[in-house]
Amino acid sequence: MGHGRAAEEDGIIPKIRALQEAFRARRLPVVFASTYTPEDADYAAYGGFWTGSRQIVVNRMGTWDVEIIDELAPADGEPVFYNWPFNVFNGTGLH
């Protein structure tokens, strides 16, 4: 919730929208990446360095913290890559 509030208060969302619109206007690719924690992960998204982190359930597919907010939603045909946080573009064909 803190990151979302900061994005709203600091005007980050309109800046990202402006970038999206500029790329789309120039017919440049716009891609989206969202990280998630697999259901069968035997460790939490933030690793074992945090006491109790193994009990944390965050970044699960289908939950709000993995979804792209409506204000920045992909246009038709723009790819969304969902991946474990490490090397989110691995296996996507993007280099």
**Can you give the pLDDT at residue 49?**
58
**Can you give the pLDDT at residue 93?**
77
DSSP helix/strand/coil, 11: coil
More confident of the two residues 5 and 39: 39
Beta-bridge mates of residue 82: 34
**Can you give the pLDDT at residue 1?**
39
Look up residue 81 and give its two tokens.
């890559």
Look up residue 78 and give its two tokens.
């723009």
d(CA 75, CA 24): 9
Which residue has 């979804």 as its token pair?
Answer: 67
Residue pLDDT, tens place only, 8-58? 677 888 999 999 999 999 999 999 988 777 776 655 555 555 555 556 667
